[in-house]
Amino acid sequence: MKDQQNGYLSKRERQIMDILYQLGQACVSDVVQRMPDETSYDSVRITLGILAKKGYVVYRKHDRRYIYSPAVSAEKASRKATRDLIRTYFGGSPSRAILSLLNTSSGKLSEEEIERIEAWLEKEKGS
């Protein structure tokens, strides 16, 4: 991603990226139609330009339209956002981030979730 200093996505940018991940590629009007709330064509067009500058989307001209597609996979973008979050709010400590998530969860963890966490911890201990 080009713009490492501003890799965070706003709510609107995240919504647009989610639409692009679902569709694979789209023109501005395709994105506008799928936005969860009323959003202007120009707003989406400008936001797609910002996402291109940040390195999250690429575009090509087709006839008189620009077609946008994700430049990075959803998984890679998610990993980067998680790393940035941990670095910014938890001093780079994954354990502090995990404990914070567990302490702020709105309910108890299910047995299945606990088992998945325990299995992951055991795997990490072994490696």
Domain extent for 86 = 74-126
Q: Are residues 101 and 88 in the same domain?
A: yes
Is the pTM higher than 0.85? The answer reads no
> What is the per-residue pLDDT across 29-82, written as a single tens digit (0 to 9) for each?
999 999 999 999 999 999 999 999 999 999 999 999 999 999 999 998 888 888
Q: Are residues 10 and 65 in the same domain?
A: yes
Q: Are residues 78 and 113 in the same domain?
A: yes
Of 32, 53, 70, the residue at which a domain comes to its end is 70
Q: Are residues 63 and 85 in the same domain?
A: no
HEC string of the chain equals CCCHHHCCCCHHHHHHHHHHHHHCCECHHHHHHHCCCCCCHHHHHHHHHHHHHHCCEEEEEECCEEEEEECCCHHHHHHHHHHHHHHHHCCCCHHHHHHHHHHHCCCCCCHHHHHHHHHHHHHHHHC
Q: Are residues 13 and 62 in the same domain?
A: yes
Q: What is the mean pLDDT of the chain?
A: 89
